[in-house]
Amino acid sequence: MFETWLVQRLIPPPESDRHFKVHQVFGNAMVGLSEDAWMALRHVFMLDYMGSAEFEFRTVPKMLKELYEDRENLRAFEFVLPAKFIEPNWNRGRTVRTKRGSVKKKQPVHPPVEAQTVYVLCRAGHVDGVLERIRRLAGNKIKLKEGSRFSAALDPVGECYNRVCGWLELDNGFFFFLNKEMWRQTSLLLTDKDPVDPPAPPT
């Protein structure tokens, strides 16, 4: 596998067609997705704006096409990421102040970092490498072109860290999610198989 450098952040589908159009035009106008591709993704996930040219000019559509063409080799699975791999959210150590700027006497007490279930869609031959990358990303141990916000989503101290809940690694081609339904819909879109279906009984 190639070294991980580009990780596209994914957010849940918009609540309305209006929000979808606004996001499509103002957030990802240069991504290069066709209208048909946008509509296919409309109820699966949306692309978070990354702010770098490396994520534009058909980088994402090219990877989606490659994964779809290799769909027979894709594997969907889930695993539990132990808390020891997760870098604690920086908000845990943040001092809360009043509107006037003085330190509040009562500071918040946060629960400990907890293990999280991660949902993956990747090539069957990449499973071990993907697990290793995800563990390193959880600890912010991989330098990326733009931040993934993965570790913050794993330890969401503060409401703003719940927005990003999926990721598409663009150097090797694999998805990982904290949102089970986004993972399920992505798997259905690319493989026509529902990962939560029980296996067929033996014949």
Q: Could you say which DSSP state residue 103 is in?
A: B
80-137 pLDDT tens trace: 999 999 999 887 767 677 788 888 878 777 789 999 999 999 999 999 999 999 999 9
- Decide if pLDDT at 200 tops 90: no
Q: What is the pLDDT of residue 24?
A: 47
Q: What is the pLDDT of residue 34?
A: 65
Q: What is the pLDDT of residue 27?
A: 45
138-182 pLDDT tens trace: 999 999 999 999 999 999 886 666 789 999 999 999 999 999 999
pLDDT-derived band at 53, boundaries 50, 70, 90 = confident
Dihedral sign, Cα of residue 194, residue 71, residue 31, residue 4:
positive
Orientation angle between helical segments 180-191 and 59-69, nearest 10 degrees: 70
CB 39 within 8 A of CB 12: no
- Decide if pLDDT at 199 tops 80: no
Buried (b) or exposed (e) across 7-29, using 16+ Cβ within 10 A?
A: bbbbbbbbeeeeebeebbeeebe
Hey, what are 53's tokens?
């040219």
Q: What is the pLDDT of residue 57?
A: 72
- Decide if pLDDT at 193 tops 70: yes
What's the gap between Cα 105 and its chain centre?
37
